[in-house]
Structure 1
Amino acid sequence: MLIAQISDLHIGFERAHPDEPNLRRLNRVLDRILALDPLPDLLIASGDLTEYGDAESYTVLAKALARCPMPVHLMAGNHDLRGPLAQVFPDAPMPDGFLQHVIEGTDLRLILLDTLEEGRHGGAFCEIRAAWLAARLAEAPDRPTLVFLHHPPQSVGIPWMDPAPTEPWIARLNAAIAGHAQVIGLVSGHVHRSSHTSWSKLPLIICPSTAPEVSLVLTPIDAAHPDDRPLIEDGDPGFALHCWHGDRLTTLFGGCPPQVLASYTDKLQPMIASMLAERAG
Protein backbone atom coordinates (compact mmCIF):
# COMPACT_ATOMS: atom_id res chain seq x y z
CA MET A 1 0.00 0.00 0.00
CA LEU A 2 1.48 3.34 -1.07
CA ILE A 3 0.14 6.50 0.56
CA ALA A 4 1.07 9.96 -0.70
CA GLN A 5 0.74 12.82 1.78
CA ILE A 6 0.76 16.55 1.20
CA SER A 7 0.30 19.10 3.95
CA ASP A 8 0.06 22.80 4.69
CA LEU A 9 -1.00 23.98 1.25
CA HIS A 10 -2.27 27.42 2.36
CA ILE A 11 -4.15 28.01 -0.89
CA GLY A 12 -5.54 31.54 -1.10
CA PHE A 13 -2.68 33.26 0.72
CA GLU A 14 -2.74 35.75 -2.17
CA ARG A 15 -6.41 35.61 -3.12
CA ALA A 16 -6.10 38.47 -5.59
CA HIS A 17 -3.77 36.41 -7.78
CA PRO A 18 -5.37 33.44 -9.60
CA ASP A 19 -1.90 31.91 -10.12
CA GLU A 20 -0.54 32.59 -6.65
CA PRO A 21 2.79 31.07 -5.54
CA ASN A 22 1.18 28.57 -3.15
CA LEU A 23 -0.99 27.18 -5.95
CA ARG A 24 2.03 26.90 -8.23
CA ARG A 25 3.92 25.10 -5.47
CA LEU A 26 1.03 22.67 -4.99
CA ASN A 27 0.89 21.95 -8.71
CA ARG A 28 4.61 21.23 -8.77
CA VAL A 29 4.15 18.67 -6.01
CA LEU A 30 1.16 17.09 -7.75
CA ASP A 31 3.21 16.86 -10.96
CA ARG A 32 5.87 14.89 -9.06
CA ILE A 33 3.37 12.61 -7.33
CA LEU A 34 1.44 11.87 -10.52
CA ALA A 35 4.68 11.00 -12.32
CA LEU A 36 5.50 8.26 -9.80
CA ASP A 37 5.52 4.65 -10.96
CA PRO A 38 3.66 3.03 -9.41
CA LEU A 39 1.09 5.69 -8.60
CA PRO A 40 0.13 5.97 -4.93
CA ASP A 41 -3.06 4.17 -3.93
CA LEU A 42 -4.41 7.33 -2.31
CA LEU A 43 -3.50 10.90 -1.44
CA ILE A 44 -3.99 12.47 1.99
CA ALA A 45 -3.96 16.27 2.34
CA SER A 46 -3.33 16.66 6.05
CA GLY A 47 -4.63 20.12 6.85
CA ASP A 48 -4.09 23.84 6.40
CA LEU A 49 -5.59 23.31 2.98
CA THR A 50 -6.27 27.04 2.68
CA GLU A 51 -4.94 30.18 4.31
CA TYR A 52 -8.25 31.77 5.33
CA GLY A 53 -10.78 28.94 5.23
CA ASP A 54 -12.91 30.62 2.56
CA ALA A 55 -15.07 28.81 0.01
CA GLU A 56 -13.32 30.52 -2.90
CA SER A 57 -9.97 29.02 -1.89
CA TYR A 58 -11.48 25.56 -1.36
CA THR A 59 -12.92 25.81 -4.87
CA VAL A 60 -9.46 26.58 -6.26
CA LEU A 61 -8.12 23.59 -4.33
CA ALA A 62 -10.86 21.31 -5.66
CA LYS A 63 -9.94 22.23 -9.23
CA ALA A 64 -6.25 21.55 -8.56
CA LEU A 65 -6.96 18.13 -7.02
CA ALA A 66 -9.44 17.11 -9.73
CA ARG A 67 -6.64 15.73 -11.92
CA CYS A 68 -5.65 13.14 -9.31
CA PRO A 69 -6.76 9.66 -10.44
CA MET A 70 -6.48 8.20 -6.95
CA PRO A 71 -8.85 8.87 -4.01
CA VAL A 72 -8.05 12.12 -2.20
CA HIS A 73 -8.78 12.45 1.51
CA LEU A 74 -8.90 15.87 3.17
CA MET A 75 -8.05 16.80 6.74
CA ALA A 76 -8.51 20.03 8.67
CA GLY A 77 -5.74 22.25 10.02
CA ASN A 78 -5.79 25.39 12.11
CA HIS A 79 -6.17 27.63 9.02
CA ASP A 80 -9.26 25.73 7.82
CA LEU A 81 -12.94 26.27 8.52
CA ARG A 82 -15.25 23.25 8.46
CA GLY A 83 -18.32 25.08 7.12
CA PRO A 84 -16.82 26.42 3.87
CA LEU A 85 -14.84 23.19 3.44
CA ALA A 86 -18.02 21.11 3.63
CA GLN A 87 -19.75 23.53 1.26
CA VAL A 88 -17.17 22.83 -1.48
CA PHE A 89 -16.51 19.20 -0.53
CA PRO A 90 -19.98 17.95 0.49
CA ASP A 91 -18.82 14.32 0.59
CA ALA A 92 -16.22 15.01 3.29
CA PRO A 93 -17.17 12.82 6.28
CA MET A 94 -17.96 14.79 9.42
CA PRO A 95 -19.14 12.56 12.27
CA ASP A 96 -20.34 14.72 15.18
CA GLY A 97 -19.34 17.77 13.14
CA PHE A 98 -15.63 16.86 12.98
CA LEU A 99 -13.69 16.04 9.82
CA GLN A 100 -12.42 12.57 10.66
CA HIS A 101 -12.88 9.08 9.29
CA VAL A 102 -11.38 5.63 8.78
CA ILE A 103 -9.82 4.37 5.56
CA GLU A 104 -10.00 0.60 5.39
CA GLY A 105 -6.87 -0.27 3.42
CA THR A 106 -5.81 -3.71 2.28
CA ASP A 107 -4.10 -4.77 5.49
CA LEU A 108 -3.30 -1.35 6.98
CA ARG A 109 -6.04 0.72 8.57
CA LEU A 110 -5.78 4.52 8.45
CA ILE A 111 -7.55 6.80 10.93
CA LEU A 112 -7.72 10.50 10.02
CA LEU A 113 -8.35 12.80 12.99
CA ASP A 114 -9.60 16.37 13.30
CA THR A 115 -7.39 18.47 15.63
CA LEU A 116 -8.88 21.83 14.65
CA GLU A 117 -10.30 24.33 17.12
CA GLU A 118 -11.40 27.24 14.97
CA GLY A 119 -9.63 30.42 16.02
CA ARG A 120 -6.75 28.60 17.72
CA HIS A 121 -3.33 28.04 16.18
CA GLY A 122 -2.43 24.98 18.23
CA GLY A 123 -4.12 21.60 18.32
CA ALA A 124 -7.34 20.49 19.97
CA PHE A 125 -8.90 17.12 20.68
CA CYS A 126 -12.07 17.18 22.75
CA GLU A 127 -13.81 14.36 24.62
CA ILE A 128 -16.18 13.74 21.70
CA ARG A 129 -13.30 13.20 19.28
CA ALA A 130 -11.38 11.14 21.84
CA ALA A 131 -14.38 8.85 22.34
CA TRP A 132 -14.77 8.47 18.58
CA LEU A 133 -11.11 7.49 18.21
CA ALA A 134 -11.26 4.99 21.08
CA ALA A 135 -14.35 3.39 19.54
CA ARG A 136 -12.72 3.11 16.11
CA LEU A 137 -9.61 1.51 17.61
CA ALA A 138 -11.74 -0.95 19.58
CA GLU A 139 -13.41 -2.09 16.34
CA ALA A 140 -10.26 -3.67 14.91
CA PRO A 141 -7.74 -4.51 17.65
CA ASP A 142 -5.78 -6.86 15.38
CA ARG A 143 -5.45 -4.56 12.33
CA PRO A 144 -2.23 -2.55 12.05
CA THR A 145 -3.35 1.09 12.24
CA LEU A 146 -1.70 4.37 11.30
CA VAL A 147 -3.15 7.55 12.80
CA PHE A 148 -3.05 10.84 10.86
CA LEU A 149 -3.58 14.25 12.47
CA HIS A 150 -2.64 17.80 11.53
CA HIS A 151 -0.97 18.91 14.74
CA PRO A 152 1.92 16.83 16.11
CA PRO A 153 1.46 16.10 19.83
CA GLN A 154 5.23 16.38 20.37
CA SER A 155 7.72 19.23 20.09
CA VAL A 156 10.39 19.19 17.37
CA GLY A 157 12.54 21.99 18.79
CA ILE A 158 11.22 25.01 16.87
CA PRO A 159 9.85 27.03 19.80
CA TRP A 160 7.13 29.08 18.13
CA MET A 161 5.62 25.98 16.50
CA ASP A 162 5.93 23.51 19.37
CA PRO A 163 3.00 22.55 21.61
CA ALA A 164 3.33 22.61 25.38
CA PRO A 165 3.63 19.01 26.63
CA THR A 166 0.94 19.65 29.25
CA GLU A 167 -1.78 20.71 26.79
CA PRO A 168 -5.05 18.90 27.65
CA TRP A 169 -5.71 17.80 24.07
CA ILE A 170 -2.46 15.81 24.04
CA ALA A 171 -3.47 14.02 27.23
CA ARG A 172 -6.86 13.12 25.71
CA LEU A 173 -5.20 11.78 22.58
CA ASN A 174 -2.81 9.72 24.67
CA ALA A 175 -5.64 8.27 26.74
CA ALA A 176 -7.63 7.35 23.62
CA ILE A 177 -4.67 5.50 22.07
CA ALA A 178 -3.30 3.92 25.25
CA GLY A 179 -3.64 0.16 25.32
CA HIS A 180 -4.25 -0.19 21.57
CA ALA A 181 -1.17 -2.09 20.51
CA GLN A 182 -2.25 -2.16 16.85
CA VAL A 183 -1.31 1.52 16.43
CA ILE A 184 2.04 1.49 14.63
CA GLY A 185 2.60 5.24 14.58
CA LEU A 186 1.29 8.74 13.97
CA VAL A 187 1.67 11.03 10.96
CA SER A 188 1.13 14.80 11.03
CA GLY A 189 1.85 18.07 9.26
CA HIS A 190 1.69 21.64 10.65
CA VAL A 191 5.44 22.15 11.20
CA HIS A 192 6.21 22.99 7.53
CA ARG A 193 9.36 20.87 7.75
CA SER A 194 9.96 17.13 7.46
CA SER A 195 10.77 15.61 10.84
CA HIS A 196 10.82 12.29 12.62
CA THR A 197 10.50 11.84 16.37
CA SER A 198 8.52 9.72 18.81
CA TRP A 199 5.59 10.31 21.11
CA SER A 200 4.21 8.00 23.77
CA LYS A 201 6.64 5.29 22.55
CA LEU A 202 5.22 5.53 19.00
CA PRO A 203 6.96 6.84 15.88
CA LEU A 204 5.80 10.33 14.87
CA ILE A 205 6.39 11.31 11.24
CA ILE A 206 5.90 14.93 10.16
CA CYS A 207 5.27 15.72 6.49
CA PRO A 208 6.93 18.71 4.80
CA SER A 209 4.75 21.49 3.44
CA THR A 210 3.87 22.45 -0.10
CA ALA A 211 3.78 26.09 1.06
CA PRO A 212 7.05 27.79 2.15
CA GLU A 213 8.83 26.07 5.03
CA VAL A 214 9.46 27.11 8.61
CA SER A 215 13.01 28.30 9.27
CA LEU A 216 15.29 26.01 11.25
CA VAL A 217 15.89 28.26 14.26
CA LEU A 218 15.98 26.39 17.55
CA THR A 219 16.78 29.12 20.09
CA PRO A 220 14.09 30.11 22.63
CA ILE A 221 11.68 32.82 21.54
CA ASP A 222 10.37 35.73 23.63
CA ALA A 223 6.86 36.87 22.71
CA ALA A 224 7.59 40.35 24.06
CA HIS A 225 10.87 40.95 22.23
CA PRO A 226 11.08 40.50 18.44
CA ASP A 227 14.65 39.47 17.58
CA ASP A 228 14.52 39.56 13.75
CA ARG A 229 14.90 35.79 13.52
CA PRO A 230 13.74 34.22 10.23
CA LEU A 231 10.40 32.47 10.59
CA ILE A 232 9.44 31.37 7.05
CA GLU A 233 11.69 30.74 4.07
CA ASP A 234 11.19 29.84 0.43
CA GLY A 235 12.37 26.23 0.49
CA ASP A 236 11.31 23.76 -2.18
CA PRO A 237 7.82 22.27 -1.76
CA GLY A 238 7.75 18.69 -0.51
CA PHE A 239 5.59 15.65 0.21
CA ALA A 240 5.77 12.28 1.94
CA LEU A 241 5.31 8.73 0.67
CA HIS A 242 4.34 6.09 3.21
CA CYS A 243 4.86 2.52 2.00
CA TRP A 244 3.31 -0.31 4.00
CA HIS A 245 5.14 -3.57 3.37
CA GLY A 246 2.75 -5.78 5.31
CA ASP A 247 4.84 -5.82 8.47
CA ARG A 248 6.61 -2.44 8.50
CA LEU A 249 6.21 1.14 7.32
CA THR A 250 8.77 3.03 5.25
CA THR A 251 8.43 6.80 4.79
CA LEU A 252 10.22 8.66 2.03
CA PHE A 253 10.27 12.44 1.70
CA GLY A 254 10.13 13.86 -1.82
CA GLY A 255 10.90 17.34 -3.06
CA CYS A 256 10.61 19.28 -6.27
CA PRO A 257 13.77 20.14 -8.19
CA PRO A 258 14.44 23.81 -8.90
CA GLN A 259 12.46 25.14 -11.82
CA VAL A 260 14.50 25.95 -14.92
CA LEU A 261 13.63 29.49 -15.98
CA ALA A 262 15.93 29.70 -18.99
CA SER A 263 17.84 27.18 -21.12
CA TYR A 264 20.52 27.61 -23.74
CA THR A 265 18.32 27.32 -26.82
CA ASP A 266 18.57 28.77 -30.31
CA LYS A 267 16.55 31.73 -29.07
CA LEU A 268 19.19 32.70 -26.50
CA GLN A 269 22.21 31.75 -28.60
CA PRO A 270 22.76 35.31 -29.91
CA MET A 271 22.81 36.70 -26.37
CA ILE A 272 25.34 34.10 -25.19
CA ALA A 273 27.48 34.59 -28.28
CA SER A 274 27.47 38.37 -27.72
CA MET A 275 28.48 38.00 -24.09
CA LEU A 276 31.36 35.66 -24.95
CA ALA A 277 32.48 37.93 -27.78
CA GLU A 278 32.74 40.82 -25.35
CA ARG A 279 35.11 38.81 -23.15
CA ALA A 280 37.25 37.89 -26.12
CA GLY A 281 37.78 41.55 -26.53
Structure 2
Amino acid sequence: MGDGKPALLIAQITDIHIGFDADAGEDEFNYKRFIAVRDHLLAQEVQPDCLILSGDLADGGDPKCYERLARAVEACPFPVYPMTGNHDTRSVLVKAFPGFENEEGFVQYTIDFEGLRVLCIDSLDQGRHGGAFCEKRAAWVTRELDAYPETPTLIVLHHPPIVAGIDWMDPKPSEDWYQRFHETVAGHEQIVGIACGHLHRPIVSEVAGIPLSVTPAVAPAVTLDLRPVDTEVADNRGIVAAEPPFYSLHRWHDGRLVTHMQPVGDWQVLARYEEHLKPMMQGLADERD
Protein backbone atom coordinates (compact mmCIF):
# COMPACT_ATOMS: atom_id res chain seq x y z
CA MET A 1 0.00 0.00 0.00
CA GLY A 2 1.28 3.48 -0.83
CA ASP A 3 1.39 6.44 1.52
CA GLY A 4 -0.97 8.46 -0.67
CA LYS A 5 1.67 11.01 -1.63
CA PRO A 6 2.37 11.70 -5.31
CA ALA A 7 5.62 10.45 -6.78
CA LEU A 8 8.60 12.79 -6.91
CA LEU A 9 10.00 13.03 -10.44
CA ILE A 10 13.56 14.15 -11.18
CA ALA A 11 14.39 14.58 -14.86
CA GLN A 12 17.99 14.17 -15.98
CA ILE A 13 19.44 15.38 -19.28
CA THR A 14 23.13 14.88 -19.88
CA ASP A 15 25.97 15.25 -22.39
CA ILE A 16 24.39 17.91 -24.57
CA HIS A 17 27.70 19.07 -26.10
CA ILE A 18 26.37 22.31 -27.53
CA GLY A 19 29.09 23.92 -29.64
CA PHE A 20 30.55 20.78 -31.18
CA ASP A 21 29.70 22.39 -34.52
CA ALA A 22 30.53 25.89 -33.37
CA ASP A 23 29.57 27.74 -36.56
CA ALA A 24 26.06 26.27 -36.90
CA GLY A 25 24.40 28.31 -34.15
CA GLU A 26 20.81 27.27 -33.49
CA ASP A 27 20.92 24.94 -36.48
CA GLU A 28 23.60 22.86 -34.78
CA PHE A 29 22.88 19.13 -34.68
CA ASN A 30 23.40 18.77 -30.92
CA TYR A 31 21.41 21.89 -30.08
CA LYS A 32 18.46 20.71 -32.17
CA ARG A 33 18.62 17.34 -30.41
CA PHE A 34 18.51 19.11 -27.06
CA ILE A 35 15.49 21.18 -28.07
CA ALA A 36 13.73 17.98 -29.21
CA VAL A 37 14.40 16.39 -25.80
CA ARG A 38 13.31 19.50 -23.92
CA ASP A 39 10.10 19.77 -25.93
CA HIS A 40 9.31 16.07 -25.46
CA LEU A 41 9.75 16.44 -21.72
CA LEU A 42 7.59 19.58 -21.60
CA ALA A 43 4.84 17.86 -23.60
CA GLN A 44 4.32 15.17 -20.95
CA GLU A 45 1.11 15.32 -18.94
CA VAL A 46 3.03 14.52 -15.74
CA GLN A 47 5.79 17.09 -15.32
CA PRO A 48 8.98 16.57 -13.30
CA ASP A 49 9.65 18.43 -10.08
CA CYS A 50 13.05 19.51 -11.38
CA LEU A 51 15.53 19.00 -14.20
CA ILE A 52 19.20 18.19 -13.63
CA LEU A 53 21.64 18.90 -16.49
CA SER A 54 24.38 16.48 -15.47
CA GLY A 55 27.42 17.77 -17.29
CA ASP A 56 29.08 18.23 -20.68
CA LEU A 57 26.63 21.01 -21.36
CA ALA A 58 28.95 22.80 -23.78
CA ASP A 59 31.48 20.96 -25.89
CA GLY A 60 34.28 23.48 -25.50
CA GLY A 61 33.28 25.91 -22.74
CA ASP A 62 32.14 28.66 -25.13
CA PRO A 63 30.17 31.36 -23.23
CA LYS A 64 27.68 31.65 -26.11
CA CYS A 65 26.83 27.96 -25.77
CA TYR A 66 26.00 28.27 -22.08
CA GLU A 67 23.98 31.41 -22.78
CA ARG A 68 22.02 29.60 -25.51
CA LEU A 69 21.33 26.71 -23.17
CA ALA A 70 20.27 29.03 -20.33
CA ARG A 71 17.80 30.74 -22.67
CA ALA A 72 16.46 27.37 -23.84
CA VAL A 73 15.66 26.15 -20.32
CA GLU A 74 13.79 29.35 -19.46
CA ALA A 75 10.80 27.55 -21.01
CA CYS A 76 10.87 24.97 -18.21
CA PRO A 77 8.20 25.60 -15.52
CA PHE A 78 10.32 23.74 -12.93
CA PRO A 79 13.77 24.41 -11.44
CA VAL A 80 16.81 23.55 -13.58
CA TYR A 81 20.10 22.53 -11.97
CA PRO A 82 23.35 22.60 -14.02
CA MET A 83 26.38 20.41 -13.35
CA THR A 84 29.89 20.14 -14.75
CA GLY A 85 31.37 17.49 -17.03
CA ASN A 86 34.82 17.11 -18.48
CA HIS A 87 33.98 19.30 -21.51
CA ASP A 88 32.74 22.16 -19.34
CA THR A 89 34.53 25.20 -17.94
CA ARG A 90 33.36 26.03 -14.42
CA SER A 91 34.04 29.74 -14.50
CA VAL A 92 32.07 30.17 -17.73
CA LEU A 93 29.21 27.85 -16.77
CA VAL A 94 28.48 29.71 -13.53
CA LYS A 95 28.23 33.04 -15.36
CA ALA A 96 25.29 31.68 -17.35
CA PHE A 97 23.93 29.72 -14.37
CA PRO A 98 24.83 31.79 -11.29
CA GLY A 99 24.37 30.59 -7.74
CA PHE A 100 25.56 26.99 -8.04
CA GLU A 101 29.25 27.41 -7.15
CA ASN A 102 30.15 26.61 -3.54
CA GLU A 103 32.72 28.37 -1.34
CA GLU A 104 35.47 26.02 -2.54
CA GLY A 105 34.85 26.83 -6.20
CA PHE A 106 33.07 23.61 -7.18
CA VAL A 107 29.67 23.40 -8.88
CA GLN A 108 28.43 21.27 -6.01
CA TYR A 109 25.21 21.60 -3.99
CA THR A 110 22.19 19.84 -2.49
CA ILE A 111 18.57 19.78 -3.60
CA ASP A 112 16.17 19.15 -0.74
CA PHE A 113 12.75 17.63 -1.27
CA GLU A 114 10.35 16.30 1.31
CA GLY A 115 11.70 12.85 2.09
CA LEU A 116 14.61 12.91 -0.36
CA ARG A 117 17.91 14.76 -0.65
CA VAL A 118 19.91 15.03 -3.89
CA LEU A 119 23.67 15.61 -3.74
CA CYS A 120 25.02 17.06 -6.99
CA ILE A 121 28.78 16.45 -7.15
CA ASP A 122 31.34 18.24 -9.32
CA SER A 123 33.53 15.54 -10.92
CA LEU A 124 35.41 17.86 -13.31
CA ASP A 125 39.20 17.79 -13.45
CA GLN A 126 39.76 20.74 -15.78
CA GLY A 127 41.76 19.76 -18.84
CA ARG A 128 41.37 16.02 -18.26
CA HIS A 129 38.86 13.65 -19.85
CA GLY A 130 38.48 11.43 -16.78
CA GLY A 131 36.78 12.15 -13.51
CA ALA A 132 37.90 13.74 -10.25
CA PHE A 133 36.83 13.42 -6.64
CA CYS A 134 39.39 15.15 -4.47
CA GLU A 135 39.64 15.21 -0.67
CA LYS A 136 37.73 18.50 -0.47
CA ARG A 137 34.83 17.12 -2.50
CA ALA A 138 34.86 13.87 -0.53
CA ALA A 139 34.82 15.79 2.76
CA TRP A 140 31.79 17.80 1.60
CA VAL A 141 29.91 14.62 0.64
CA THR A 142 30.80 12.99 3.96
CA ARG A 143 29.55 16.02 5.90
CA GLU A 144 26.28 16.04 4.00
CA LEU A 145 25.72 12.30 4.47
CA ASP A 146 26.65 12.37 8.15
CA ALA A 147 24.34 15.31 8.80
CA TYR A 148 21.27 13.47 7.46
CA PRO A 149 21.84 9.76 8.11
CA GLU A 150 18.13 8.91 8.08
CA THR A 151 17.14 10.86 4.96
CA PRO A 152 17.11 8.93 1.66
CA THR A 153 19.70 10.46 -0.66
CA LEU A 154 20.32 10.35 -4.40
CA ILE A 155 23.83 11.19 -5.63
CA VAL A 156 24.34 12.71 -9.08
CA LEU A 157 27.73 13.15 -10.76
CA HIS A 158 28.90 13.27 -14.35
CA HIS A 159 31.56 10.54 -14.34
CA PRO A 160 30.40 7.00 -13.46
CA PRO A 161 32.78 5.44 -10.91
CA ILE A 162 32.49 2.05 -12.63
CA VAL A 163 34.27 0.02 -15.30
CA ALA A 164 31.60 -0.51 -17.96
CA GLY A 165 33.78 -2.38 -20.45
CA ILE A 166 33.95 0.43 -23.00
CA ASP A 167 37.72 0.47 -22.92
CA TRP A 168 38.47 3.92 -24.31
CA MET A 169 35.99 5.61 -21.95
CA ASP A 170 36.53 3.65 -18.73
CA PRO A 171 38.53 4.74 -15.68
CA LYS A 172 40.96 2.40 -13.98
CA PRO A 173 39.88 1.20 -10.53
CA SER A 174 43.34 2.18 -9.28
CA GLU A 175 42.70 5.90 -9.93
CA ASP A 176 42.61 7.97 -6.75
CA TRP A 177 39.27 9.60 -7.49
CA TYR A 178 37.63 6.24 -8.21
CA GLN A 179 38.84 4.65 -4.99
CA ARG A 180 38.02 7.74 -2.92
CA PHE A 181 34.45 7.83 -4.20
CA HIS A 182 33.88 4.16 -3.39
CA GLU A 183 35.32 4.63 0.10
CA THR A 184 33.24 7.76 0.70
CA VAL A 185 29.84 6.27 -0.12
CA ALA A 186 30.45 2.82 1.41
CA GLY A 187 28.39 2.16 4.52
CA HIS A 188 25.97 5.06 4.04
CA GLU A 189 22.72 3.16 3.91
CA GLN A 190 20.62 6.24 3.16
CA ILE A 191 22.03 6.45 -0.40
CA VAL A 192 19.27 5.07 -2.63
CA GLY A 193 20.99 5.55 -5.97
CA ILE A 194 23.78 7.12 -8.01
CA ALA A 195 22.90 8.82 -11.31
CA CYS A 196 25.59 9.62 -13.89
CA GLY A 197 26.21 10.60 -17.51
CA HIS A 198 29.45 10.71 -19.53
CA LEU A 199 29.30 7.28 -21.20
CA HIS A 200 26.60 8.23 -23.73
CA ARG A 201 24.86 4.87 -23.21
CA PRO A 202 22.08 3.38 -21.04
CA ILE A 203 23.89 1.44 -18.33
CA VAL A 204 22.98 0.04 -14.91
CA SER A 205 25.49 -1.12 -12.33
CA GLU A 206 26.27 -0.70 -8.62
CA VAL A 207 28.84 0.89 -6.35
CA ALA A 208 29.32 -0.46 -2.82
CA GLY A 209 25.94 -2.16 -3.15
CA ILE A 210 24.23 1.09 -4.27
CA PRO A 211 22.31 1.00 -7.58
CA LEU A 212 23.90 3.15 -10.30
CA SER A 213 22.37 4.32 -13.57
CA VAL A 214 23.91 6.08 -16.55
CA THR A 215 21.57 8.29 -18.56
CA PRO A 216 22.29 8.18 -22.31
CA ALA A 217 23.35 11.39 -24.00
CA VAL A 218 21.51 14.08 -25.89
CA ALA A 219 24.54 14.12 -28.22
CA PRO A 220 25.18 11.03 -30.38
CA ALA A 221 25.77 7.72 -28.63
CA VAL A 222 29.00 5.92 -27.90
CA THR A 223 28.77 2.58 -29.68
CA LEU A 224 28.54 -0.63 -27.68
CA ASP A 225 31.87 -2.33 -28.39
CA LEU A 226 33.41 -4.26 -25.52
CA ARG A 227 36.68 -5.15 -27.24
CA PRO A 228 39.90 -3.80 -25.73
CA VAL A 229 41.47 -0.85 -27.52
CA ASP A 230 45.04 -0.97 -28.81
CA THR A 231 46.19 2.65 -28.90
CA GLU A 232 48.85 1.71 -31.46
CA VAL A 233 46.37 0.16 -33.91
CA ALA A 234 43.48 2.14 -35.42
CA ASP A 235 41.13 -0.77 -36.13
CA ASN A 236 38.36 1.21 -37.90
CA ARG A 237 35.75 0.36 -35.29
CA GLY A 238 32.73 2.64 -34.93
CA ILE A 239 32.93 4.71 -31.77
CA VAL A 240 30.05 7.22 -32.13
CA ALA A 241 26.66 6.70 -33.79
CA ALA A 242 23.63 8.95 -34.34
CA GLU A 243 21.28 6.97 -32.10
CA PRO A 244 18.28 8.90 -30.69
CA PRO A 245 18.78 11.46 -27.91
CA PHE A 246 17.60 10.46 -24.43
CA TYR A 247 16.56 11.74 -21.05
CA SER A 248 15.84 9.95 -17.77
CA LEU A 249 13.09 10.27 -15.19
CA HIS A 250 14.04 9.18 -11.68
CA ARG A 251 10.80 8.37 -9.82
CA TRP A 252 10.90 8.38 -6.02
CA HIS A 253 7.81 6.92 -4.39
CA ASP A 254 7.06 4.86 -1.29
CA GLY A 255 10.75 4.71 -0.41
CA ARG A 256 11.87 3.30 -3.76
CA LEU A 257 13.77 4.80 -6.68
CA VAL A 258 12.85 3.74 -10.23
CA THR A 259 14.65 5.16 -13.27
CA HIS A 260 13.04 5.39 -16.71
CA MET A 261 15.28 6.11 -19.72
CA GLN A 262 13.35 7.63 -22.63
CA PRO A 263 14.59 7.94 -26.24
CA VAL A 264 13.18 10.87 -28.18
CA GLY A 265 12.04 10.54 -31.77
CA ASP A 266 9.04 10.56 -34.07
CA TRP A 267 7.84 7.07 -33.19
CA GLN A 268 4.74 5.47 -34.71
CA VAL A 269 2.06 4.80 -32.08
CA LEU A 270 0.99 1.17 -32.50
CA ALA A 271 -1.77 1.03 -29.88
CA ARG A 272 -3.91 3.50 -27.95
CA TYR A 273 -6.19 3.07 -24.97
CA GLU A 274 -9.47 3.07 -26.87
CA GLU A 275 -12.89 1.71 -25.99
CA HIS A 276 -12.15 -1.84 -27.14
CA LEU A 277 -9.24 -2.08 -24.66
CA LYS A 278 -11.32 -1.24 -21.58
CA PRO A 279 -11.96 -4.93 -20.72
CA MET A 280 -8.20 -5.60 -20.75
CA MET A 281 -7.49 -2.61 -18.50
CA GLN A 282 -10.28 -3.57 -16.12
CA GLY A 283 -9.03 -7.15 -16.00
CA LEU A 284 -5.51 -6.01 -15.14
CA ALA A 285 -6.88 -3.74 -12.39
CA ASP A 286 -8.96 -6.61 -10.99
CA GLU A 287 -5.88 -8.85 -10.85
CA ARG A 288 -4.01 -6.27 -8.77
CA ASP A 289 -6.96 -5.94 -6.40
Matched AA of 2:69: L
Counterparts of 1:206 and 1:105 in 2: how far apart (Å)?
22
Are residues 1:226 and 2:244 paired? no
Checking the alignment, whether the CA contact within 8 Å between 2:167 and 2:229 is kept in structure 1 is: yes
Are residues 1:8 and 2:25 paired? no
Are residues 1:210 and 2:218 paired? yes
The match for 2:114 is 106
Checking the alignment, whether the CA contact within 8 Å between 1:236 and 1:258 is kept in structure 2 is: no
Partner SS for 1:63: helix
List per-residue Cα deviations over 1:117-152 (Å, max 9, x = no partner): 000000001001010110011110000001000000
Matched AA of 1:133: V
Checking the alignment, whether the CA contact within 8 Å between 2:245 and 2:264 is kept in structure 1 is: yes
Are residues 1:123 and 2:123 paired? no
Are residues 1:254 and 2:255 paired? no
Counterparts of 1:245 and 1:186 in 2: how far apart (Å)?
16
Partner SS for 2:149: coil
Are residues 1:47 and 2:47 paired? no
The structure with the largest alpha-carbon Rg is: 1
The match for 1:273 is none
Q: TM-score, normalised by structure 1?
A: 0.90
Matched AA of 2:15: D
Q: TM-score, normalised by structure 2?
A: 0.88
Q: CA deviation at 1:259?
A: 8.0
What is the aligned-residue identity percentage?
A: 44
Counterparts of 1:64 and 1:228 in 2: how far apart (Å)?
37
The change in CA–CA distance for 1:211 and 1:256 in structure 2 (over 3 A counts) is same
Q: CA deviation at 1:86?
A: 1.4
Partner SS for 2:35: helix
Matched AA of 2:204: H
The match for 1:37 is 45
The match for 1:133 is 141
The match for 2:169 is 161
- Over aligned residues, Cα RMSD in angstroms? 1.2
Matched AA of 2:257: L
Q: CA deviation at 1:175?
A: 2.1
User: What stretches of structure 2 of length at least 5 have no aligned partner?
Assistant: 1-7, 269-289
Checking the alignment, whether the CA contact within 8 Å between 2:49 and 2:78 is kept in structure 1 is: yes
Q: CA deviation at 1:199?
A: 1.6
Matched AA of 1:139: A
User: What stretches of structure 1 of length at least 5 have no aligned partner?
Assistant: 261-281
Q: After the TM superposition, which parts of structure 1 deviate over 4 Å for at least 4 consecutive aligned residues?
A: none
The match for 2:28 is 20
The match for 1:186 is 194
Q: CA deviation at 1:237?
A: 0.3
Matched AA of 1:16: D
Counterparts of 1:101 and 1:34 in 2: how far apart (Å)?
25
The match for 1:278 is none
Aligned residue pair count: 260
Q: CA deviation at 1:87?
A: 1.7
List per-residue Cα deviations over 1:217-257 (Å, max 9, x = no partner): 11110111110110100000001000001311111111112
Partner SS for 1:158: coil
Structure 1 range deviating more: 172-181 or 237-246: 172-181
Checking the alignment, whether the CA contact within 8 Å between 1:46 and 1:77 is kept in structure 2 is: yes
Q: CA deviation at 1:258?
A: 3.6
Counterparts of 1:10 and 1:209 in 2: how far apart (Å)?
9
Counterparts of 1:115 and 1:256 in 2: how far apart (Å)?
27
Counterparts of 2:171 and 2:52 in 1: how far apart (Å)?
23
Are residues 1:237 and 2:207 paired? no
